Chains A and B, each alone.
Chain A
Amino acid sequence: MLNADDLAAIYLTIKLAATTTTILLLLATPLAWWLARNQGWWAKVIGAVVTLPLVLPPTVIGFYLLIALGPNGGLGQLTQALGLGLLPFTFWGLVLASILYSLPFAVQPLQQAFAAIGARPLEVAATLRASPRDTFFSVVLPLARPGIITAAVMSFAHTVGEFGVVLMIGGNIPHETRVVSVQIYDHVEALQYTQAHALALAMLVFSFIVLLALHVLNKPVRSI
């Protein structure tokens, strides 16, 4: 029922979501930690910027990214100077866009998990000879595990489900930027409803399984 193009779109989607999630966790963890530990004016501004993608239409994000990453945009000139070429309509352009788009979905659960830990475990660790870096890895990350799992699952699922940003920045290039959501759109445009049904159902089942897994896996560390 799924043809070669559909399978390629699925593979590309999973690759995009996995890459985005990995980079996002590495990026969002220190960012969320900093946001959770600072209440200053700067933290509020950064916090608001991180949350922006939640409220902006994906087309707006995609549009600005397209301009910025284009040949006359600041980022575009930077990537060209670095010998990376132009990112729009490439896989890595999609990764960059997905990271921005899903950033709040990674940062917010992490930030909440870090804030919930409070200062006390850090003070205890310090009086047990653990340096701040040591404490972060041996106390903070294990205690924040539910938040990390939520951040990873939400980033992955949200990237799988994106459409507007992809269309703006990636277009519709088979094997390069044509992800499942775009493929479904193409099928519908071409009135291939059977094909669209198959892919749409696959997405529905996938999303359900992800959310179910999140609820099952995410047993919080029992507080005392």
Chain B
Amino acid sequence: MTVDLKLNNAILSAQLGDFSLDVDLALPANGVSVLFGPSGCGKTTVLRAIAGLEPRVRGVVNIAGELWQDETICVPPHLRGVGMVFQQPSLFAHLSVAKNLQFGLKRTPESQRRVSYQQALDLLGIAALLSRKPAQLSGGEQQRVAIARALLASPTLLLLDEPLAALDAPRKAELLPYLAQLNRELNIPMVYVTHAMDEVSQLADYLVLMSAGRVIAQGELASTLARPDLPAQFADERSTILDTRVVELNADFHLTRLAFGCDGSDGQLWVPSKQHQLGQTQRLRIMARDISIATTDETHSSIVNRLPARITALLPTTHPAHVLVQMSAHGVTLTAQITALSQSRLQLAVGQAVWAQVKAVALL
């Protein structure tokens, strides 16, 4: 069993009734790692085991070079310096918002404090709530306070267990940007558990796909989502993630032009404008089934976004009717899912120059 000190490692196993857990995670020491999978796949158990809240789970937990658990050691949760946000906000009902926030802060030695009180208030937008009791807050406000409370204990690792799952859609939309911002502004690695793909594509840097107590795939977000060997249950999520920047605003047609590319040339995509600012970054997700392929530049088409690309691989998927086409466009890999019939009709081959037609883009 080798453990790389530059990574956050968790090698965990347990037999809990009918459910068996057997995972080996090597998560990057920075950024957001998302554990994604259906309910009951064991992702929450993994998170709780990392926090030290699941004594029945055995294994090795090594976080930021510190050994938290192995065959002989099990550091109790309060000495791990781990932060956890639960699905339910779980604020202390007997304490005001301010006292809830100070709970972890005052138990953190001065020398270890990395997040200031004011910083947490600003990041989560809760300065106006300090004197209230938890029962006087909305669900979204409670969860923001819970996140700030966890941050103020300056954890070496922040664990989030479906923090948005208990919220309705508008509250969810209100909280997601706060979470995205946390990742940008604080240098605290996060492990985020969810079964919602929109949260994955918006927040993740690193993705772990889980099913029935096992890790199905793990890796950097864009490459994992593009993998041809994704099992059927994850196949519908197969997609391309692009980080782009806003380069032009077209007021006449209410469109924004986004540029991407990492080979010096710029690829461009037009998307509906959405309060974009010039120079701003914008992450996109393009589903594999939303890219079609043409062998000529079909200007007589309603599809606006056509990208010149070169086929780098043709791969079978888990369903025989479909073929996965990987293309390089401006140094970026695009993944399209087409039918085997189309491949045969168009006589597509590796190395061929084609046009990738993007039918729909999700702005994240």
CB distance B104 to A128 under 8 Å? yes
CB distance B135 to A224 under 8 Å? yes
CB distance A123 to B93 under 8 Å? no
A selection of 21 A-B contacts at a CB cut-off of 8 Å is: A120-B90, A121-B92, A124-B84, A124-B90, A125-B103, A126-B51, A126-B76, A127-B51, A127-B78, A127-B84, A127-B150, A128-B78, A128-B104, A131-B78, A132-B76, A138-B103, A143-B93, A221-B93, A222-B133, A223-B135, A224-B134
> For B92, what are the chain A residues with a Cβ–Cβ distance below 8 Å?
121, 124, 139, 143
Does A145 touch B at the CB level, under 8 Å? yes
Q: Count residues on chain B whose CB falls below 8 Å from chain A CBs.
A: 33
Does A130 touch B at the CB level, under 8 Å? yes
Over the window 109-139 of chain A, the binary record of Cβ atoms lying under 8 Å from chain B Cβ atoms (1 yes, 0 no) is: 0000000000011011111111110100011
Does B260 touch A at the CB level, under 8 Å? no
Docked CA distance A115–B90 (Å): 16
B128 to chain A, nearest CB (A): 19
Known: A125-B103, A129-B104. A224 touches B91 (CB 8 A): yes
Within 8 A of B (CB), among A137-154: 138-139, 142-143, 145
> For B51, what are the chain A residues with a Cβ–Cβ distance below 8 Å?
123, 126-127
Within 8 A of A (CB), among B174-207: none
Does B163 touch A at the CB level, under 8 Å? no
* Interchain CB contact (< 8 A) of B77 among A127, A139, A142, A145: A127
Known: A130-B107, A224-B135. A123 touches B77 (CB 8 A): yes
Interface residues of A (CB under 8 A from B): 120-121, 123-132, 134, 138-139, 142-143, 145, 221-224
CB distance B94 to A128 under 8 Å? no
CB distance A121 to B107 under 8 Å? no
* Interchain CB contact (< 8 A) of B86 among A120, A129, A131: A120
Does B363 touch A at the CB level, under 8 Å? no
CB distance A120 to B93 under 8 Å? no
Docked CA distance A126–B150 (Å): 11
> For B135, what are the chain A residues with a Cβ–Cβ distance below 8 Å?
222-224
> For B134, what are the chain A residues with a Cβ–Cβ distance below 8 Å?
224
> For B90, what are the chain A residues with a Cβ–Cβ distance below 8 Å?
120-121, 124
Residue ID in chain B nearest A135 by CB atoms: B78
Docked CA distance A107–B353 (Å): 79
Docked CA distance A128–B181 (Å): 22
> For A130, what are the chain B residues with a Cβ–Cβ distance below 8 Å?
78, 103, 107
CB distance B103 to A128 under 8 Å? yes
**What does DSSP make chain A's interface, helix, strand, loop or mixed?**
helix
Given known contacts A125-B78, A126-B78, what 12 new A-B pairs fall within 8 Å (CB)?
A120-B90, A126-B52, A127-B53, A127-B84, A128-B83, A128-B153, A145-B94, A221-B94, A222-B93, A222-B135, A223-B135, A224-B91
B238 to chain A, nearest CB (A): 35
Docked CA distance A195–B89 (Å): 60
Residue ID in chain A nearest B85 by CB atoms: A127
Does B142 touch A at the CB level, under 8 Å? yes
> For A143, what are the chain B residues with a Cβ–Cβ distance below 8 Å?
92-94
CB distance B78 to A120 under 8 Å? no
Docked CA distance A130–B150 (Å): 12
Does B312 touch A at the CB level, under 8 Å? no
Docked CA distance A207–B94 (Å): 30
CB distance B153 to A129 under 8 Å? yes
A164 to chain B, nearest CB (A): 40
Q: Which of A124, A138, A142, A143 counts the most B-chain CB atoms under 10 A from its CB?
A: A124
> For A145, what are the chain B residues with a Cβ–Cβ distance below 8 Å?
94
Within 8 A of A (CB), among B67-108: 76-79, 81-84, 86, 88-95, 103-104, 107-108
> For A221, what are the chain B residues with a Cβ–Cβ distance below 8 Å?
93-94
A50 to chain B, nearest CB (A): 27
CB distance A120 to B103 under 8 Å? no
> For A134, what are the chain B residues with a Cβ–Cβ distance below 8 Å?
78, 107
CB distance B82 to A127 under 8 Å? yes
Over the window 113-142 of chain B, the binary record of Cβ atoms lying under 8 Å from chain A Cβ atoms (1 yes, 0 no) is: 000000000000000000001110000001
Does B149 touch A at the CB level, under 8 Å? yes
Docked CA distance A30–B37 (Å): 41
> For B93, what are the chain A residues with a Cβ–Cβ distance below 8 Å?
143, 221-224
Within 8 A of A (CB), among B46-61: 51-53
Docked CA distance A125–B89 (Å): 13
Docked CA distance A145–B90 (Å): 18
> For A132, what are the chain B residues with a Cβ–Cβ distance below 8 Å?
76, 78
CB distance B149 to A129 under 8 Å? no
> For A123, what are the chain B residues with a Cβ–Cβ distance below 8 Å?
51, 53, 77, 84, 86
A116 to chain B, nearest CB (A): 11
Docked CA distance A224–B142 (Å): 10
Docked CA distance A134–B77 (Å): 13
CB distance A127 to B88 under 8 Å? no
Docked CA distance A124–B150 (Å): 9
B171 to chain A, nearest CB (A): 15
> For A131, what are the chain B residues with a Cβ–Cβ distance below 8 Å?
76, 78
CB distance B53 to A128 under 8 Å? no
Docked CA distance A123–B85 (Å): 10
> For A142, what are the chain B residues with a Cβ–Cβ distance below 8 Å?
94-95
> For B108, what are the chain A residues with a Cβ–Cβ distance below 8 Å?
129
Residue ID in chain A nearest B76 by CB atoms: A126
Residue ID in chain A nearest B91 by CB atoms: A224
